[in-house]
Amino acid sequence: MTSQVSRLGQTLRRSLCASLAPRQTRTFSATTSALARRPRTEEKLTSDQAFDLLDDEFDDDDTSSAGHIMLREQRQVLHYMRLIEHEMPKLVAYRKPFVPPTEATPLIVRSLDYAGEEHPATIKRAVVVAVDQLPLRDEDAIHKIKLLAGPRWTPNPPADAGVNGLETWGNGYIKISCEDFPQPSMNLKWASDTLDTLLAEANNTRDRFRDVPLDERHVDSKAQKAKRGDHIRGRTHNRVSILDFPKEWLPTRTLRSS
């Protein structure tokens, strides 16, 4: 009995000493290794450095978060200003003289680019041409190509065609676009071939379609959706300009004496 009591006392003393002794092993944690963040080398501080940081007092020598954001925006502006000053003059080596298009090149090709980034619209190509600049045989051919173009023909130039707004409309414009093929050159080739097919059929004198009226419902519908009043009283085809006003109504320009 005495030996059992002594063994029990020794066991209690060992457990008490083990609980009071400092632990050398790491405690168990339920956090997974995937969520645990590895400490960076620059974040490791000694105990003396940590106490020095706690002892430092704030001297009002730093700005707020909004101030840091403003400084970051200023650095970004300065970065682009340096690019404009030092890199933009180098583009002079790639300067080319402007050559106006001739009658042999009446097509206007439009494309989209997102500064080198991939986008589905970058493969699209659109071709715009004035009907008056096409090699058509006569008035019947002009009327026939308008019928064949359908909604691709408009009396006014498209807004995204790159046509000067001061040019006369004449017989309107034809716009053909394509984005069905994987390469931009293939889409441009299809649009160019389609325009050539329209020209060949319009100059064909087998059937002139003189008795077929021109369908302009797509023009009126587009003007009505714009809600600018162009669909009222035929304003779609008769664009009002300063030439329609009497000369007596126009203000006279007076020269100022220096």
126-178: pLDDT as tens digits: 999 999 989 898 899 999 999 999 999 988 888 887 777 667 778 889 999 99
3-state secondary structure string, the chain? CHHHHHHHHHHHHHHHHHHHCCCCCCCCCCCCCCCCCCCCHHHCCCHHHHHHHHHCCCCCCCCCHHHHHHHHHHHHHHHHHHHHHHCHHHHHHHCCCCCCCCCCCCCEEECCCCCCCCCHHHHCEEEEEEHHHCCCCCHHHHHHHHHHHHHHEECCCCCCCCCCCCCCCCCCEEEEEECCCCCHHHHHHHHHHHHHHHHHHHCCCCCCCCCCCCCCHHHHHHHHHHCCCCCHHHCCCCCCCHHHCCCCCCCCCCCCCC
Average pLDDT over residues 9-14: 63
For residue 10 the two structure tokens come to 């020794």
Among 234, 246, 87, residue whose Cα is nearest residue 155: 234
Q: Which residues pair with 108 in a beta bridge?
A: 128
Give the range among 71-75, 117-121, 167-171, 174-178 with minimum mean pLDDT.
167-171
More confident residue, 204 or 9: 204
Q: What is residue 247's predicted lDDT score, i.e. its pLDDT?
A: 79
Rounded to two decimals, the pTM is: 0.55
Lowest mean pLDDT among 31-45, 143-157, 183-197: 31-45
Task: Please tell me the predicted confidence (pLDDT) of residue 258.
Answer: 46
pLDDT at 25 over 60: no
Q: Name the nearest CA neighbour of 134 among 209, 189, 187, 198.
A: 198
Question: What average pLDDT does the chain have?
Answer: 79
What is the average pLDDT across 12-17?
58
Mean pLDDT is highest, among 78-92, 109-123, 149-163, for: 78-92
